[in-house]
Amino acid sequence: MTAAAQVVVHRDKELMAQAAAARLITKIVDAQAARGSASVVLTGGRNGNGLLAALAASPARDAVDWGRLDLWWGDERFLPEGDMDRNVTQARAALLDHVPVDLARVHAMPASDGPFGRDADTAAEAYAAELAAASRPENHADVPSFDVLLLGVGPDTHVASLFPELPAVRETERTVVGVHGAPKPPPTRISLTLPAIRAAREVWLLAAGEDKARAAHIALSGAGEIQAPAAGAYGRSRTLWLLDNAAASELPRALYPPASP
C-alpha cells in the first residue's frame, strides 16, 4: 500500500458496484474531455463483472463516447475463444454487447485456440507487443498510461493472475507474462505484471464479501507484495480500494470514513 491509497466502504456489494460504475463513468468522460479518448483495464470475477453489469444498467452510461474508449484486460484465463470462464466472454455478456464499443479498441488477451496455440508465454509476449504499440513517448512504461486499471482482490490477496510467491509476482521487467500452476483453475493464465499495473494513472481494487476481509486487512497493513500481491498494486496518481462492509470488517476504522447510507 502507498501513502496515497484511499479506502471507500459501501454498505453492500450491490451499492459498491453501482457507486464504482458511477465513478468509472465520470472518470472516462473526464478523460475523453481532456485527451479525446480514454483507456481502461477491466477485471473479471464477481466484483468486476458486477461493476460492468451496474454500468450497463446505469442511464449515465450514455455520457460515455464508447467509440473513443480503449479496453484492455489485467489478466485472462488461457482457454478457448468464447469459453464462459474467459473474462472477455463475461465482459461481453455483462456490458460490451450492450454498448456501441469500437471492436478495434477492445483488446482481448489471446485465447488458447488462437494463433499461438497453447503457448501462453508466446501469447503473453504478443499482448505485451500490442500494449507497447499503443504506448506513447510520454507514457511511463511500455504500456499506455491507463486512466483506470481495475483489479479484483482474491481471498489470498492475488490481483490479476499474480498469486502470492509465484514467479509472475516477482517480475520486474516484462509487462505481460504467462502464468503456470496457478492455485485456482485454470492453472494456465496470462497476466499483466506489477510494473504494467503501476503505469496506470489510477488503480482501483475491488473487494466485497466476508471471504475478502482478511485479504484486505493484510494488503492494507503494510504486507510485502511477494506474499500479498494486492499490496504492490498502486497507481501513479491514485490508488483506490472500493470495499463493502463485509470486506472491510477487519480493517481499523481509522482507515476509512463512515460507510455510505
Per-residue pLDDT, 20:
97
The DSSP symbol for 87 reads H
Mapping DSSP onto H, E and C, the string for 111-151 reads CCCCCCCCCHHHHHHHHHHHHHHHCCCCCCECECCCCEEEE
Q: Strand, coil or helix: what is 243?
A: strand
pLDDT digits (tens, 9 = 90+) for 35-81: 999 999 999 999 999 999 999 999 999 999 999 999 999 999 999 99
Cα-Cα end-to-end distance for the chain: 27
Per-residue pLDDT, 2:
46
The DSSP symbol for 78 reads -
- Cα angle 174, 179, 185 (rounded to 5 degrees) comes to 155
CA gap 200, 60 in Å, rounded: 24
Exposure string (b/e) for 136-168, b if CB count within 10 Å is 16 or more? eeeeebbbbbbbbbbbbbbebbbbbbbbbebeb
pLDDT averaged per 10 residues in sequence order, the chain, 261 residues: 76 97 98 97 96 97 98 98 98 98 98 95 98 86 93 98 97 97 97 97 97 96 95 96 96 69 40
Per-residue pLDDT, 104:
97
Per-residue pLDDT, 257:
65
pLDDT digits (tens, 9 = 90+) for 133-150: 999 877 777 999 999 999
Can you list the positions of beta strands (E) in 20-79? Answer: 38-42, 69-73, 75-77
Per-residue pLDDT, 261:
40
* pTM summary value: 0.95
Domains of the chain, first to last? 5-255 (3.40.50.1360)
